Structure 1
Amino acid sequence: MTATEKDRDILARTLWGEARGESLAGQIAVAWTIRNRVNDGKNKSWWGEGYAGVCQAKYQFSCWNSNDPNFASLSGAKAIPFRELAQARIAADQVIDGKVPDPTGGATHYYALSMKVAPGWAAKAKQTLLLGGHVFFKDVP
């Protein structure tokens, strides 16, 4: 799939919103989760089309919810610190361009350990990776 500049920007902003405290490897893992949804879009079109569509699909990535504290920065109303966005852009570009392998083993979902309680869907899914502050899953019912 060809990614537009908008796709790259939205993916980088999503990585900042969802994983800005993570290492580059952690952001790459989150980006691969999104890429796996993009690639599976033929079967599950409700995930959205392309990187921007998947990232901004309603209630899929909480940083894009209008009531999320990150939303003002993602939408451009507030500035994102340059260095933080630059790292997220590196992760986004490496994943979109296929320069790094998928460390998640095909994950399409993750949750942050800071949630304290795992989401209900995690109990029936296959955990593929624990990296930094995120747990990754595939085969989510």
Structure 2
Amino acid sequence: MNVAIDIAARTAWGEARGEGITGMQAVLNVIANRAAHPGWWGHDVASVCMDPGQFSCRNEGDPNLPKLKAVTDEDPLFRSATTLAGRMVAGTLPDITNGADSYFANGSPKPRWAANRAPLKVIGHHAFYRLGLTGDGK
């Protein structure tokens, strides 16, 4: 399997498997939107996903990290994430986030970067935002 597809699928699965296919697609849209505008958050799909602190499922100590490292194609949601990630890499995955490059889980404290901003879209339990090319969320 293509490395970028595998990394993106594991990230989407780790972040949003509880939100189903739509939630994973939204996370993949954020990954694609970031990769399309290289900056502090990475310069391609793999670096966007692996940049420390960008996706909580990849943080050391996060309970999702060992799960995303161990998940296999036997998991139907991971198979779906892999298919969606393949479409993202091919440029055929529709953007359901309206161009978002950032998001956070509703119910958690609102991040500093989201203050005084309205989300572009709310999908499941996540609010999606576009911070722009400056990546001022860091």
Give the shorter-chain TM-score range: 0.7 to 0.9
* Cα distance in structure 1, aligned partners of 2:71 and 2:30: 26
Q: Which secondary structure state, in structure 2, belongs to the residue aligned with residue 38 of structure 1?
A: helix
Q: For 2:13, which of 10, 16, 26 is the aligned residue? A: 16
Q: How many Å separate the matches in 1 of 2:88 and 2:19?
A: 16
Answer yes or no: is the 8 Å Cα contact 1:62–1:68 preserved in 2. yes
Aligned-partner Cα distance in 1 for 2:100–2:19: 18
Which stretch of the first structure deviates more once superposed, 11-20 or 82-91? 82-91
Q: 1:129 aligned to 2:126?
A: no
User: Partner letter of residue 71 of structure 1?
Assistant: L
Asked if residue 48 in structure 1 is aligned to residue 73 in structure 2, the reply is: no
Report the CA distance shift for 1:123/1:93 in structure 2 as closer, same or farther (over 3 A). same
1:35 aligned partner, one-letter code: A
In the alignment, structure 1 segments of 5+ residues that lack a partner are none
**Relative to structure 1, is the Cα distance of residues 114 and 91 closer, same or farther in structure 2, using a 3 angstrom cutoff?**
farther
> Which residue is equivalent to 2:95?
102
Q: Is the 8 A contact 2:21 2:81 kept in 1?
A: yes
Q: Contact between 1:47 and 1:57, CA under 8 Å: does it hold in 2?
A: yes
Q: Superposition pairs for residues 70-89 of structure 1, below 5 Å?
A: 70-75=64-69, 78-80=70-72, 82-89=75-82
- The answer to whether structure 1 residue 58 and structure 2 residue 52 are counterparts is yes
Structure 2 CA distance for aligned equivalents of residues 40 and 124 of structure 1: 23
1:48, 1:18 → 2: CA distance? 18
- Count of residues in correspondence between the two structures: 132
- Paired letter, 1:96: V
Q: What is the CA distance between 1:126 and its match in structure 2?
A: 4.5
Instruction: Specify which of 107, 110, 118 is matched with residue 118 of structure 1.
Output: 110
Q: Percent identity?
A: 38
Note if contact 2:84-2:93 (Cα within 8 Å) is conserved in structure 1: no
Alignment partner of 1:93 out of 79, 86, 89: 86
TM-score when scaled to structure 1? Answer: 0.84
Inter-CA distance 10–103: structure 2 relative to 1 (3 Å threshold): same
Whole-angstrom distance in 1 between the partners of 2:10 and 2:116: 30
Q: Which runs of 5+ in 2 are unaligned?
A: none
TM-superposed deviation, 1:102: 1.2
For residues 114 and 63 of structure 1, the distance between their equivalents in structure 2, rounded to whole angstroms, comes to 17
